Structures are given as C-alpha cells and as structure tokens.
Structure 1
Amino acid sequence: VGFSGGNKYLFPGIGGPRILNFFHWLAGVITNPRIIGNKWTPVRKVVDRAGALVRVPKKCLAMVVTPDKRLVGLFGGTPEGAWDAASQVSDHVHIIYKDRPFHTVLSVLPPMYDEVWVGGKGMYKLEPVVADGGEVILYAPHIKEVSLTHGANIRQLGYHCRDYFLKQWDRFKDFPWGVIAHCTHVRGIGTYENGVERCRIKVTLATGIPEEECQKLSLGYRDPATLDPASFANREHEGVLLVPKAGEMLYRLKNPPDWAKPD
C-alpha cells in the first residue's frame, strides 16, 4: 500500500478475500518499488475509497514506533488524517536512504519469519537498493517451508516477474491474486518477451529449503552452512550490504531510478 495504517485496518484488514486479492494484485501490477515507501499510491486510494463506504463514525490513533519499540509519534483523528500525519514521521523513522545501490545484499531473516510467505519482506524491503544484475540472498536456515497455507499454489505458480503472469493471464487468472502478487514481489521486476523471462536481479534462498525445490520455484539456492553473515559486514564501500534483521526497515535510494518512482 506504500505506508501501512489508516483505513487499511478495515480494508483489507477485515474486508474478506475479494478485496484482499484485488488490493494485493493491484500492487503487484504497479510493482513493489513503485509502491513501497511511497505515500499516495493507487492502492492507498482504493483503501480510502473502501473506507468511505463505512458510514459509522471512524476514529484512528496512528502510532509511529521505532524498531526498539520507542513511541515517537501518536496522531489522532480520522483514519485518513491520522495516517497522513503518521506516515510523514514514518518516512524518517522506518526508511534508510542510501547513496548508491549494492550488487550483493545479505538479508538475514529473524526467527519470527518462519516461511518464505512472510520472509519475503527481506526481498520487498531491499529490492529498491539492489543494482541491476545484483543479488539478494535471503539467509534463514530456520525456514523449511514456502508456505503451509499457500504452498500448493506457489509451487504451481513459481516466483516470477509481473509480466510473466500478465502476458499469460488466461493461464494464471484463476489462482488467488494475492498469492500471485506475493510471487511477483519476491522475484522482483523484470520482462517477459517471446517466452523468455529476464528479471532485473537474482533472488537466492539460503534456507532449509532444498536446492531442487528452489530450482522448481525459479529461485537461486545457496547452502546456508557455507555462508558467514559476519563476512558481509562493513563492506558497503565494496557494494556489499549486510542487513542483520531484515524485514523491518525499508531501504531506498536517495535518487531512485525511474523504475522505483511512483507514476
């Protein structure tokens, strides 16, 4: 949606699968870098339009909390107004801006992410700072599952860029759109022309998921036992970024390329 909060707690929060799937796939069509960390996105407009259909009075307390659990902002009012003010603060608290992109990112996922379904945040929130042709490595030896709930659909779909799905829509349109969106967000942006998919970056799993399964999912594989996260530290000058607790903070470039700018 860009920034969480506001009417999002109603839609898709308790809104049911139809709006949930539409909401997520709309973001998938626009693509993750054009949505995440941007404020007035088309997805936010859908959320607020749905919120306007709720006729009872609505009040919102929007909190901005740091990763170490300090409250740094509290805004009250309508869901739209409180969210508007809180997101301004969130931009400074929850986003790390970098001067240049990195060719290698080690995204270390904490134990609270127990599946790729939720651990995908380690890709979503790092994609904007990965250089063309670069690699995000999702390091999580504890992750053994793609998704207990959605795994069957994900294994049929695979992880692919948006255009892979859009240009074969008759083949994929009956899958849950929210699951398709997950698959595109984890794989990142790319193209699909004449039956050939070309993704902008490489996405590699260094998890407890076997190499054969990673290949079937169209993701790279690294044996986590061969990786020492400490060896990736303090190498930003080399184009290597270590994110020790990935999935919480968003990383963006101070001067983003066109593919990361909202339309």
Structure 2
Amino acid sequence: MMNELDGPAIGLSDSELKQLIFRELEKYSFEGKRILVIVPDNTRTIPLQLFFSSFQNALLKRVKKLDFLIALGTHPAMTSEQIRGHFGVTPSQAKASGINIFNHQWDEPSQLKLIGTLAEEQVKKITGGLLSESIPVAINKKIFEYDELIILGPVFPHEVVGFSGSYKYLFPGISGPEIIHAFHWLSALITNPKTIGHRDTPPRQVINQAAQLVAIPMTAFCVVMKGKVPFGLFTGDPVESWQQAVGLSAQVNVVYKPKPFPKVISIAPAMYSELWVGGKCMYKLEPVVDDGGEIIIYAPHLKDVSITHGKYLMEIGYHTRDYFLANWEKCQHVPKGIVAHSTQVKGIGTYKNGKEYPRIQVTLATGLPRELCESINLGYLDYRSLNPDDYLGKEEEGILVVPNAGETLYRLQDGTTPDIDRLQRGERSFGK
C-alpha cells in the first residue's frame, strides 16, 4: 500500500512524517516480539533521528525487545560520535533506555551465519549467463536472536542494483563477502548506465533470491527523499513497498537534461569522506557527460581512497571493465566487488590493441595529492584552483554544476544512455 499523504508529491514536514510513522507502526502486530531494525549508515540521507525517536516512543512499550543494526556493507564501523550524529543518541545513551545499537561486521566470520547457497544454474539463469557460479549466502547471525525484522532505509537510483532500498539493506547491508562481491561484479559486467535507475535488474533479482533464504518475518519501511526532505513512506511487504517507493523515487530523484555536457562539476557532500562512496558523484552523472567529456569530482574534504579497500585499489588502480577483462591475470586475486567499484568510477570504455580508451575523463579535485591520483589512473586538479560557483548558470556553455551530488540521477531527455556496445563497434570519434 502507498503510504504517502494525500495530494501531489510535495515534501513532508517533521510532524507529518512522524504522523505517518506512528500510523504505519500501528498496522503491524509487533506486540511482545523481539524486533531488530536494520538501518543505513551515515552515507545515506534519511532523517534517522526522527525515525529512531518515533520507533522508540511507539514500540518500546509494545515489544519485548527493540534493537538497531547498522547496515554497513563493507563500510567502516561507525564510531560512538558518528552514531550520536546519525541516531541522535550515543550507543550508551540508547542502551540506558533499553535499546542496543550494533555495527555490522562483514569481515568477521564469527559474526556471520551461512543460510544457504544460490545454485550455479539459478545464478546463470538470473544473470543471463554473465555469472556461472554458485553463491554462498551468509548474513549477520544476530538477526536470529529476534522474532521479526524491520528494514528501514531510503530508496534512490543506485549503480549496483538499479534502485537502493528494502532487501539491499540485507545484501550487502548485513551480509558476508561472497554475495557482496558476486552481485557487485555482476553490475560492473552490465555497466552502470544500463543498471542505474532501472527497477528490474539482474543484481536486484540476485538480492531478492538471497532474501528468500532468511526465514524471519520482515516488514519494510521504504523512505523516498529529495535532498534532505522526505517525500514519501511506503511500508509492508519488502518487495511491494519497495516497488511503490521506486515509482516515487523515479519522479523526485531523476533530473532530465536536453543534451550531454562536455564538462560536469560534481560537488560531493561531506558524508562522502572517501572515494569508495564519493564515486557516487560519478555514477549518478555519467549518463549526461558527453563522449570525450570530463567529470570533476569536487571534494576538498575527501582524503582517503578507501579505508577498508584502499590496499587493493592502490594496487589495481581505476580502469574500465574491458581493461580488466583483457588483463584478468593482474586482478584475479582481488575481490570482485573491489574491481567492480574501480570500473564504475572510471566509467565505460574500450580496450584495443593493448590500450585503454575510457569514454570520459574522471578528474579528482579532492584532498588526495596529484601523485596518488595519477598512480591510480585518475585525473588530478588542485581544488584550490577551482571555484564551482564561477560556473553556475553556464549550462548553455556546456558546463553543468551539481551541488550535493550522489543521490540524484541525471539522464538525457531522449532516453539515450552511454552504450558500451556502441563504443565497441567504434561508433565514436576517438579510440577506434
């Protein structure tokens, strides 16, 4: 059921959203149950403080137990101070009220439980033959201490699964590494432009199949945001509520432009503190960068490639999918999810006669030094030499400036997207 206030798609005030939350929680029989709420970390925009306080006020008196698990995927664990900024309370303050807040630990086998395996033939069918392998499915074993799960999180266009939300907060949110690397690599094989902003994708089907192995009742609370403003809340069955949220997200989180731009300045918000998540400033804008154009990720505050995966990324650098497929012996020891991230930041391109031809240039105007940027095969620009405000209002001159990039998808009005097949046929002015 669509649980958005009546009327046109306009933002919800805090009081309106709180009203919706209380109304929705009343629909479900949580009485006397142990409830675990799975939530995103602080790299996703959601009014979590309001949700946390509302859940606390509405559920603590009804349930036997109420805890929260942060769906980190492979992101670093949140500190007590970060949790305070995200939830509005520190873990110790929450515990004093009877609520535990946990970080997921994707790389700690003792914290995971194998719940099944997606068979090779099943995976081959779902992926159209792109993957022909069985996929072990492990998940945070803490969930089995509870009677029911609530999956809470925003739904945005997403480079790996098409649209984020719902079961994605299980996989990769609270899962083990095997399935994370498998479906991220699948998305890289398909490529970002053919995945992002599409509702039904093979990676999403992999996630949905894996979720069927979780034998615990689940209720989804899917939130649609526009910037920092909530626009809708959809609750209930994790697939149905997610599909409804996708319908609204496709309206409020996609911007259409009449023509591609030779230059795009993508300004990263402070919540992207490393390139691992700051790459979203590339993914969401790749479709509107012209062939041979440039996207500049402007993020003076960004000073790390990846806290978790930096070692591998410093080794393999950033390259197109076709480069890695042609040079697999150089990266076969690297987890495929990391290779996938590399290709998505670099963008699509071709590899011919031992030379790589990216479709566009990706330049970092960040806190990363020139030597590092060049060593990982990305462009460098001293952020102090660039004032994005100087380029505002110059779209007619071919320059697009996007503040707070990373959650809104940009597309062309005619529906075309950068096409790796077209590039491989040589239908371009360079790299033939």
Measured against the shorter chain, the TM-score band is: over 0.9
Structure 2 residue 247 is matched with structure 1 residue 69: no
1:130 alignment partner in structure 2: 289
- Cα distance change on mapping 1:144 and 1:76 into 2, 3 Å: closer
Q: Distance in 2 between matches of 1:29 and 1:171?
A: 17
Measure the CA separation in 1 of the matches of 2:183 and 2:321: 15
Q: How far, CA to CA, are the matches of 1:50 and 1:107 in structure 2?
A: 34
Q: Distance in 1 between matches of 2:229 and 2:418?
A: 33
Tell me: CA distance 1:260–1:63, structure 2 relative to 1, closer, same or farther (3 Å). Answer: farther
Number of the residue aligned with 1:109: 268
Matched, 1:43 2:200: no
Match of residue 362, structure 2, among 194, 203, 210:
203
Alignment correspondent of 2:56: none
Alpha-carbon offset, residue 66 of structure 1:
2.1
Match of 2:178 among 18, 38, 55: 18
Question: Which residue does the alignment assign to 1:215?
Answer: 374
Amino acid at match of 1:8: K
Report how far residue 210 of structure 1 moved.
1.4
Alignment match of 1:55 (pick from 205, 209, 215): 215
TM-score by length of 1: 0.95
Q: Distance in 2 between matches of 1:68 and 1:258?
A: 28
Where do 1:1-263 residues align within 5 Å?
Answer: 1-70=161-230, 72-257=231-416, 259=418
The letter of the residue matching 1:224 is Y
Distance 1:229 1:12 in 2: 34
> Kindly tell me: are residues 83 and 127 of structure 1, through their superposed partners in 2, closer, same or farther at Cα, counting changes over 3 Å?
same
Distance 1:222 1:258 in 2: 27
Aligned equivalents of 2:375 and 2:249: distance in 1?
38
Is residue 224–residue 249 contact of structure 2 (8 Å, CA) maintained in 1? yes
Aligned partners of 1:46, 1:246: CA distance in 2, in Å? 28
Q: Taking structure 1 as reference, are residues 48 and 137 closer, same or farther at Cα in structure 2, changes over 3 Å only?
A: same
Percent identical pairs in the alignment equals 52
Contact 1:99 / 1:255 at 8 angstroms: preserved in 2?
A: yes
Q: After superposition, what is the alpha-carbon deviation per residue over 1:128-185, rounded to whole angstroms, capped at 9, x for unaligned?
A: 1100000000111122221222111101111100011112223212201111111111
Q: Distance in 2 between matches of 1:254 and 1:39?
A: 18
Q: Which runs of 5+ in 2 are unaligned?
A: 1-160, 421-432
Given that 1:3 and 1:36 are in contact with CA atoms closer than 8 Å, whether structure 2 keeps it comes out as yes
The separation in 2 between residues aligned to 1:24 and 1:229, in whole angstroms, is 32
**CA shift for structure 1 position 59:** 2.1
Residue pair 1:128, 1:260 contacting (<8 A) in 2 also:
no
How far apart are the structure 2 equivalents of 1:100 and 1:65? 26
| Deviation of 1:54 (Å) | 2.1
TM-score by length of 2: 0.58
Structure 1 gaps, min length 5: none
Question: Counterpart of 1:112 in 2: which secondary structure?
Answer: coil
Letter in 1 for 2:266: S
Letter of the aligned partner of 1:148 in structure 2?
A: I
Q: What root-mean-square deviation, in Å, do the aligned CA atoms of Structure 1 and Structure 2 show?
A: 1.4
In 2, Cα distance between equivalents of 1:113 and 1:145: 10
Instruction: Give the count of matched residue pairs.
Output: 260
From the CA coordinates, give the structure whose radius of gyration is larger.
Answer: 2
2:372 partner letter: E
Partner of 2:38: none
Measured after TM superposition, the shift of residue 25 of structure 1 is 0.9
Higher relative contact order (CA closer than 8 Å, sequence separation 6+): 1
Most deviating of 250-259 and 229-238: 250-259
Shift of 1:13: 1.7
SS at 1:205's partner residue? strand
Contact preservation (8 Å) 1:12, 1:23: no
User: Quick one: distance in 1 between partners of 2:403 and 2:189?
Assistant: 30
